[in-house]
Amino acid sequence: MKNVSPSRSQHEQQPEPVKEKLIAFLTRFRTPILATVAGIVIVTVVLVIVMSVQASRAEAALLAVEDLQDEYEQWMQLEEDERSDAYSLLADSAASLIEEYPRTYAAVRARILDARALSELELWEAASRRFLEAADASRGTYLEPVSLMGAAVAAENAGDADRALALHRRIAEDFAGESAEVPRAMFSIGRILEQRGDIAEAAEAYRRLVSSYPNSSWTNLARNRIISLTVEGRIGG
């Protein structure tokens, strides 16, 4: 039988200094530590619940706008003289969605669908305003220039060329290199200026389009206008 030295036995029976300090710390601050842990658990549970609710709400909003899309497509199948009478139901559906899910992607799409319906009815002023609402609600997303284009087209159809021109310039300046709407906006700037008789400015707008977006289909139209204006002697070759 081995003899255990008294010094070694006593050393093994004594708690380690770090362990002793930890036990003392936990004993002293037991209540605040438990309160902190409980707080973290509560916050975590609340965050999980909030995120779950938000996810469910986002999913519900997307389902609602898909239903509105179906309603719009069914409305489009109506005869032209029937659309005017049926529009109020479509508008009510869009308004309800926007009210229930404000500041969401679904609400922006609802505004755009409503604006498109107004355009189909040739209610151009109302359509332009509705598109602008969609643009304001979709700042910083790809839907902003799309909505601005809709507003510009509707404004021009309403006879407000100045507002249409301003909106096209906004698209061209704010979304250069970012949106597929930019070449169309740049061509529209030249076209409106040409219609107003500002031929030199129109030609310059066409040239900027050709230089900036050489492969766009809108660029082909701009080249054709430059050739036509040159042949007509309205600009220098």
Residues 113 and 143 sit within 8 Å (Cβ to Cβ): no
137-237 classified as CATH 3.40.50.450: no
User: What average pLDDT score do residues 227-233 get?
Assistant: 96
As a whole number, the mean pLDDT across the chain is: 88
User: What average pLDDT score do residues 104-108 get?
Assistant: 96
- Spacing of C-alpha 70 from chain mean position: 21
Report pTM.
Answer: 0.78
User: What average pLDDT score do residues 130-142 get?
Assistant: 97
pLDDT at residue 118 in the model: 98
3-state helix, strand, coil in the chain (%, to 5): 80, 0, 20
Axis-axis angle for helices 80-100, 30-76 (nearest 10) = 180
Residue 2, classed as helix, strand or coil, is coil
20 pLDDT band (50/70/90 cuts)? confident
Axis-axis angle for helices 181-195, 143-157 (nearest 10) = 20
pLDDT tens-digit series, residues 59-96: 999 999 999 999 999 999 999 999 999 999 999 999 99
- Do you know the residue count of the chain? 237
The residue ranking higher by pLDDT, 154 or 36, is 154
